[in-house]
Amino acid sequence: MGDPQYLAHPQLALAQAVFTLASPSTSSSAKQSSLSTLQDAIREHKMAPLYAYLAHPQTGKINPSGESGSAVMSPTISRSNTSMSSSGPPSNALRRTSSIKTPSMIGVLGGKTDTSVGLPWDEALYDELKADNEKELAAIAKEEEDATERAGETELLAAQSKRAELYARIGDKDAALSEFEKLFDKTGVLAIKIDIVLAIIRIALFFDDKLLSRHNIARATTLVDSGGDWDRRNRLKAYQGLHLLTIRAHNLAAPLLLDSLSTFTSNELCPYSSLVVYATLAGTVSLPRRDFKSKVVDAPEIRAIFGADSDSDRLLALSGAPSAGPGGDDEEMAGDDSTAKDKDATATPKPTAVNLTALASGSASAEAQALAEPKYDFKPLSTLINSLYTGQYSAFFRALSTVETDFLSQDRYLYEHTRW
């Protein structure tokens, strides 16, 4: 069916940078790093609408007056494109979270934003970025006109695709949704239709629009079930799992996220290390004991990442290099010696082989992607799951406190569910 399209934008890592900048639970150094990342991306990708949405003095979401201000200068966050139909599979039922009815990049913070490190507003920069956007749109309009007069339908659709991708790149939510819907109506190729809907889901995740996510996951499921290829079916599984995680449907998210670990190709969605975190946490709070043991505690993909003591070990695990494998400590874990149990509860399993050669997509190699992964200290999470399984609750609660600080409060998908 051809390679997936429209994967480049929006970049969900930028949404995490916005969360880090605005969150009261992130450190000053993390905020400064996120600010630099965000400013560089705004300039590089000419993101005038997103810049206004975030930083405008009257309407900017991460300025003190922004959440209650009007949206004159911002990309509209209307409900017109969310298709608020209540229809869809039961697996996508929305749970009670404070951000469901108020889609916003920082809606999960519940209005408790930290403005100690802000995104400064520069009117001249905004005007420059806006002018660049208008030039690009004019060039695309000219290309569409030429295609209409001298070329065929394929060339016209290619030009219109550029318009949709431009709006997705610069952070204009409603314009991007409108253009992708036009593309969806005009194309007859199933694979392209699926790619368009997956792009819409990423826009929904970027702006934390859970209703839009739910509607389009149901839509994508229908398309995939009508004849989608393995790759797109596999991508949708990760998309659906992540959406279910955001609405606190952990029992439904866990099987999808855990199944995605061995076949993950959706690097446009999140880094593999983040998927491991999401799958582990969802499985920990929802799976029965027997499944928790086999699918989380002993899962080779999870043990491989948790057991990487250094960047080099981590690279080996992510790129699928062989290693000693799991199982050496299992008998000790079942023993009666409390000292042995305590040791196993806090020990990190050694790396095992993970078949992640499919991680490489586009021009990036698996090694390059592994090196670009976020650097987590997985030891608290490893201790959490092992101590929970072995019943070492003092170690479990110590690890839980660290997991809350290091993972739950630092991630835009998990933050809203920390107290739960």
SS (H, E, C) 268-309: CCCCHHHHHHHHHHHHHHHCCHHHHHHHHHCCHHHHHHHCCC
Kindly report the length of the chain. Answer: 420
Alpha-carbon torsion (114, 250, 241, 312), positive or negative: positive
Considering 228, 258, 288, which residue would you say is the last residue of a domain?
228
Considering 228, 261, 277, which residue would you say is the last residue of a domain?
228
Please check whether residue 236 lies inside any domain of the structure: no
The token pair at 21 is 């900048």
Select from 192, 200, 245 the least CA-distant residue to 218: 200
Query: Domain check: are 323 and 401 in the same one?
Result: yes
Angle, helices 190-206 vs 210-225, to 10°: value is 160
Please check whether residue 233 lies inside any domain of the structure: no
Please check whether residue 2 lies inside any domain of the structure: yes
Rounded-to-integer distance, Cα 394 and Cα 418, Å: 20
Whether residue 10 has a cis bond before it, omega within 30° of 0: yes
The token pair at 52 is 């206004």
Rounded-to-integer distance, Cα 376 and Cα 273, Å: 8
Considering 228, 261, 296, which residue would you say is the last residue of a domain?
228
Query: Domain check: are 295 and 385 in the same one?
Result: yes
- pLDDT recorded at residue 106: 87
Q: DSSP class of residue 417? A: G
Select from 71, 391, 65, 103 the least CA-distant residue to 246: 103
Rounded-to-integer distance, Cα 201 and Cα 218, Å: 10
Query: Domain check: are 288 and 338 in the same one?
Result: yes
Query: Domain check: are 310 and 194 in the same one?
Result: no
Burial code (b: 16+ CB inside 10 Å, e: under 16) for 60-94 equals: bbbbeebbebebebbbebeeebbbeeeebeebbeb
Q: Which domain holds residue 384?
A: 250-420
Rounded-to-integer distance, Cα 264 and Cα 261, Å: 6
Please check whether residue 242 lies inside any domain of the structure: no
Helix (H) or strand (E) holding 37: helix 28-44
Alpha-carbon torsion (340, 345, 347, 353), positive or negative: positive
Query: Domain check: are 266 and 212 in the same one?
Result: no
Rounded-to-integer distance, Cα 307 and Cα 326, Å: 10
**Tally of domains in the chain:** 2
Q: DSSP class of residue 420? A: -
Rounded-to-integer distance, Cα 232 and Cα 52, Å: 34
Select from 237, 320, 321 the least CA-distant residue to 275: 237
Cα pseudo-dihedral 300, 301, 304, 307, rounded to 10: -90
Query: Domain check: are 194 and 316 in the same one?
Result: no
Select from 80, 78, 126 the least CA-distant residue to 104: 78
Query: Domain check: are 211 and 255 in the same one?
Result: no
Query: Domain check: are 101 and 134 in the same one?
Result: yes
Select from 38, 45, 41 the least CA-distant residue to 106: 38
On the CB side of 138, CA atoms within 13 Å amount to 6
Rounded-to-integer distance, Cα 193 and Cα 333, Å: 50
pLDDT tens over the chain, length 420 residues: 678 899 999 999 999 999 999 999 999 999 999 999 999 999 999 999 999 999 999 888 887 654 433 333 444 444 344 443 334 444 444 554 555 667 788 888 888 888 889 899 999 999 999 999 999 999 999 998 888 888 777 888 888 999 999 999 999 999 999 999 999 999 989 999 999 999 999 999 999 999 999 999 999 999 999 998 899 999 999 999 999 999 999 999 999 999 999 989 899 999 999 999 999 999 999 999 999 999 999 999 999 888 755 555 555 555 544 433 444 344 444 444 444 444 444 444 444 334 343 444 443 455 555 556 677 889 999 999 999 999 999 999 999 999 999 999 999 999 988 876
